[in-house]
Structure formats: C-alpha cells, structure tokens
Structure 1
C-alpha cells in the first residue's frame, strides 16, 4: 500500500475540500479526546496532519465517479465530501497497520506517525521507543476504522442505500484484512507461496478498498443500476491489480524519494509478492532466496544499498521484473476493453476512469 500522484479531479472544487474536511473532523475528535488527557488529544492532532498528507486518490475517484453518474443532477456536496473523508480515513488506517506489520517508520518522504511517536520518546533509538511507536500505530489505525464506521452509518441516504453502503464497507474491510493476512502468511511461510496465491492477495489487499469501494460507493449513492455497478466492479478489479503490481515494482526498483516507500522494505520483510512468486519458478531462485528477509537490506547507507542493488539485478536477470510488467499491461488492456463503446458504463464515467487509469500508467520507477 502506497501513495501516488492523483490525477486532476473532474470536480476540482469538491476534491480540494476533502483534505480540509478530513483535518476538521480529526481535530474535532482531538478536542473531544481532551477528557482522556492531553497526550491522547495530541495523538489525534498528529493523525490529522499525517492522514491529510496524501494525494487523495481514492476519494477523488469516488467524487469524480459520483458526479459522472449523476448525469447533471444536483449533487449533495456535504454527503459526498463526508463519504470521501471516510474513504480516505480507511486508507490511512490501513497504511498505519501496514507500517506496523512492515516495521516501517517512514512514509511520504518523511517519518510516518510511528516514526514521529518513536522519535518523541526520551530514548528514540531504543527498542522501547520502537515498541511505543508501533503500539500507537495499531491503536491509531483502530480509531480510524471506528470513525469510518461512524461516517458510513450516519450517511444521509435512503435506508436501502445506507444498508448497502454498510455492507460494502464490511466486505471491503474483510477482504482487505484477508489480503493483508495472506501477505504476511506468504512472507512467513504459513501460506504456500504460489503465483496464484500472491495474485489473489494482491486483489484482496488493494483492489477492493482502493478501487472497488470508491466506484461501488458512488454507484450506490447515485442510484446506478446493477449492470453498471457490476461493470464498475470489474473495472475496479483490473485497476486495483494493475495498481498493486505497479506498487510492487516501485517498491522493488523505484526511487523512494518519488513514491514514498522505504527503499528495500519489501525485500527486508521477505514479502512474497507476485514478483517474488515468479522468481521462485526460475533457476535464479536459490540466489534470490538467500538475499530475501535480511535485516541489512535498506537504502540508508552505501553497504546496504549494495545488497539491495544485487537483489534487484537478480530479479531483472531471472525475468521477474519483465513478467510483472507484462502482467500489469494485460490488466490495463483488459480495463481498456471494458471501457470501449459497447460497455454498459456511460461515456461520462468512462472518461473519469480513463483519466485515473492514465495517471496510473504515468507512474514510473
């Protein structure tokens, strides 16, 4: 899970309000938290700054799709902004838990919430400080998920739509947790590390909450028919898998100053991504396996950066990098096919999805 440059929102006015609304909501919670002590209120304030620091890809996709599905009808701006905030808060909750699992203390080209809390400890380099930072990361993520449920439950929509939104949120969280659990299970040998298992993990971990949730939520709010919602679900899955495959390539081969992921963290954690799952099937695997899961794989100094570059070279030589590039291209081509003129998705919505998929294609290592 990572952050990328978001495309220009079709409705730039609504999109620009999401960050402000997100900060206001979390700061309001910080004020309410004062009764539990200043430290707890300060945690909410810290979350406000970190949560609002992303590119808002998911809420923008939701807002743009909702406007396109409205076909010129007057939009309920307050409702859309509130649900957009909930979608972004869920993303941030998953980022927090992801950072805890991956033992990452940096994100978005700086320290993340875990790192900020760790560094504020009297002994910031100690194991106690790291435990404190990760514990706060878990609890902050839990608070965010609770807040998302509040937002979806209180959405001012007709009753049947409200129930569908809550069911969608529940399905999204279930699938994302399953995807994250599979990710960890693959890494620690609890799940058979086949390419099929790695690709299923990719769909559940990213496609469901990053693309299916925004697109289906927009369809529910705007009253789209079942055929349209089904087509949007299919498009979301192709977008999500392509996005995560690209994220794996960026994490493995990209510049952390551009994509915000700590260099070598996936290698250090021994993550069994589709990239690694393919490498397992090649003659290069014994050399690659020897490099994975090593604590000295980071990008912070010359010696450890050399270890990372050695592993990158092996993944290129065995054909894993090219295989993932080809698979990514297949999913983007399938998305293009879905967006052709015969699609049940309207021209307005196809334009929105094309803008977002073009932005995805623009991501580079």
Structure 2
C-alpha cells in the first residue's frame, strides 16, 4: 500500500472495506447456520455498513501511523471494528429518534417493519421493527468487540488498546442517554448541548479512535494528550457541522430529509443558540414547533431562517472555526510522525468542510 496523503480517508477505505466484508461474510454464514430466517437481519446489518465516511477507522489508522506504526493488515482490521460500533450507535439512535431514513435508505427498524407487513405476520409491524433493530444493533456491538479482539495484532497491543476502546463505548452510550434526557427536560443551555455533543459524537468520532491507534502502537501515554488537544476540538467541529447540515443540508448529500433534527426535537447547539438570541415571541414560537414530527417544509424554512437571522448560525460557524484553529495548532507537536501530521491536517478539512 503506498501513501496518498491527499486523501487520507481514501487511503484507508479499501482495506477497511475489505476487512469488514470478510468479517461480515464469515459471521453471516454463522447466523444462517442458526436459521435461514436470520437472513433479513443480516441484510439490514450489511446495509448499515455500506457507505459511510469511514472517519473513525481513518483516525484510528493515522493515530497508529502518527505513533510510528506501519501498514500491517491487522491495524486495518482493528480500525474497521469501529464501523460496527458506529453501526450499533446509528441503528439505536434511529430507533430512539423514530427516524425514517439513514443515508438515503430506510432506517433499520423501518426496513424490518416493512418485512413484517410484507410477510403478513401477526402483531404490530412497527413494534417488531423496533425490537429487531435493537437486537441487530446489539449484534453490531458484540461483533465490534469480536472483530477487534480477532484482528491479529499482538495480545499486548490489544490489551493496551482496551483502555480507549472500552472508554469510547461507555462514552457514546452515556452521551446518547444525555441526549435523550435533554430532549425530555427541554434543555436549552448551550453548555448542556455541548456536553451531549462531546460524549455522543465528538470523542468517539475523533479523539478515542486516535487514542486507540496510539495505544495499539504502544505510545498511548505520550501521545494521548496531543491527540486530545487535536481530537476533541475537531470532533466538536465535526458534530457542529453535522448539526448545521441537519437543518440546512441538501437531503441528496445528507441522506436524511431536511429539518429532521427539528422534527425530532434535537437539543443541538444551533437550537440553544437560536433560543438564546431570538426575540421572546419568535423564541416561544420556535420552542412550540420544535419536536413536531409533522413540521412542514415552510415551517422548517422559517425555523432555519430564524436561526440565521438571530445570529445563531453565524455563532456556530465561529465555533467551528475556533475549534478547527485549536486542532490545527495541536498538530504542530513533533511527537506525531510528519507523514501522519499531513494526513491529520487533511482530515480536518474532510471532517468539517462539508457544505449545505
């Protein structure tokens, strides 16, 4: 494999995709040995692994390379296990949010509910779909651990990697709970939204995969602080951009209907900033509309317009710029191998420069 640092994600993707394909094919066969009825569940799981940006494996790999690791096949397998963790998080997130689509396709619970209806089974299709999706997400979580442990890296390296690997799984589940909690208690504080963002997405997208790469290469202690200084602000910038796309994004690019975050009542930084900056009457109307699953395109346009006119959109863009500057400054550390510094600089752009 030769380096092509102009596209650090593309450099990693073929090997990650190949490792996932091998693992899933083998484990699909095991499922079908249990029963042919499991084929639709396996299909739904595979659909969740198709596409995606592969950012988490990329950050893990370049964290490894920044620590002096080389391009051995085993690191790509270990990094690919993070895509199964991501699939678990997305499947469960869609159930919690009652989302219809993911990456332009039916969400897992909708897909399985459709199977129920098409098959003419008894009971409620939606309940069956949600239950099956939770189990498929659980399977992804179990397979993530199995793929990591079976990656072929030395036992001592895998043991060292358990610290960030386990922390990452705990943090993303805790962040998801905090997100659910903020929605039911109608949280409006920017700091609360930032805490949810940090644990639900930012840390496990960038910081912890970098930590994992460093730990697997035997350099967690000296590189973890450097990777945190780079990874946490970049992870926050990534999720801020994602939240803006959830309101202003083109569905053809995002794979989800425009305004879905508003329909779901997501307590994002953009929402918190809008409620804090808008006039009392507009804020009250925005608050009343937030979380209505039947929001019209016109209402979503009004809510987006208020976010822009109030200065909330500009405030979020400033936060992104500030976080990007912090991440860029952290890359000046000479503890990171020079080639990896170049790739990590390119990943800043890949993670934050997506357009509406």
Q: TM-score, length-normalised on structure 2?
A: 0.90
Kindly state the Cα deviation for residue 97 of structure 1 after the two structures are TM-superposed: 0.8
Match of 2:80 in 1: 85
Kindly state the Cα deviation for residue 168 of structure 1 after the two structures are TM-superposed: 1.6
1:11–1:63 CA contact under 8 A, matched in 2: no
> 1:319 and 1:166 mapped to 2: Cα distance?
43
Match of 1:113 in 2: 108
Match of 1:236 in 2: 231
Match of 2:7 in 1: 8
Kindly state the Cα deviation for residue 286 of structure 1 after the two structures are TM-superposed: 0.9
Match of 1:3 in 2: none
> 2:215 and 2:25 mapped to 1: Cα distance?
29
Task: Check 1:279–1:134 CA distance in 2 against 1; reply closer, same or farther (3 A cut).
Answer: same
- The RMSD of aligned alpha carbons is 2.4
Match of 2:214 in 1: 219
Aligned pairs, number: 347
Matched, 1:356 2:351: no
Matched, 1:132 2:128: yes
CA-to-aligned-CA distance 1:76-121 (integer Å, 9 cap, x gap)? 21x1121122111111111111111111121112223223222222
2:91–2:133 CA contact under 8 A, matched in 1: yes
Task: Check 1:254–1:336 CA distance in 2 against 1; reply closer, same or farther (3 A cut).
Answer: same
Kindly state the Cα deviation for residue 225 of structure 1 after the two structures are TM-superposed: 5.5
Match of 2:319 in 1: 327
CA-to-aligned-CA distance 1:163-199 (integer Å, 9 cap, x gap)? 2322222211111111111111111117x43111110
Match of 2:25 in 1: 27
2:66–2:336 CA contact under 8 A, matched in 1: no
> 1:10 and 1:324 mapped to 2: Cα distance?
26
> 2:285 and 2:134 mapped to 1: Cα distance?
35
Q: Which runs of 5+ in 1 are unaligned?
A: 1-6, 298-303
Match of 2:3 in 1: none
Match of 1:345 in 2: 336
Higher RCO (C-alpha 8 Å, min separation 6):
2
> 2:267 and 2:9 mapped to 1: Cα distance?
37
Q: Which of the residues 31, 37, 40 maps onto 1:39?
A: 37
1:27–1:44 CA contact under 8 A, matched in 2: no
> 2:273 and 2:55 mapped to 1: Cα distance?
29
Match of 1:52 in 2: 50
Q: Which runs of 5+ in 2 are unaligned?
A: 1-5
Kindly state the Cα deviation for residue 11 of structure 1 after the two structures are TM-superposed: 7.4
> 2:337 and 2:18 mapped to 1: Cα distance?
31
Between stretches 176-185 and 112-121, larger displacement belongs to 112-121
> 1:308 and 1:127 mapped to 2: Cα distance?
35
CA-to-aligned-CA distance 1:300-346 (integer Å, 9 cap, x gap)? xxxx2112111111211221111111111110111122123x55433
Q: TM-score, length-normalised on structure 1?
A: 0.88
Matched, 1:183 2:179: yes
> 1:90 and 1:347 mapped to 2: Cα distance?
29
Match of 2:241 in 1: 246
Q: Which of the residues 280, 284, 287 maps onto 1:286?
A: 284
CA-to-aligned-CA distance 1:267-325 (integer Å, 9 cap, x gap)? 1121111111122223231121121111212xxxxxx2112111111211221111111
> 2:309 and 2:34 mapped to 1: Cα distance?
56
Match of 1:301 in 2: none
> 1:353 and 1:84 mapped to 2: Cα distance?
16
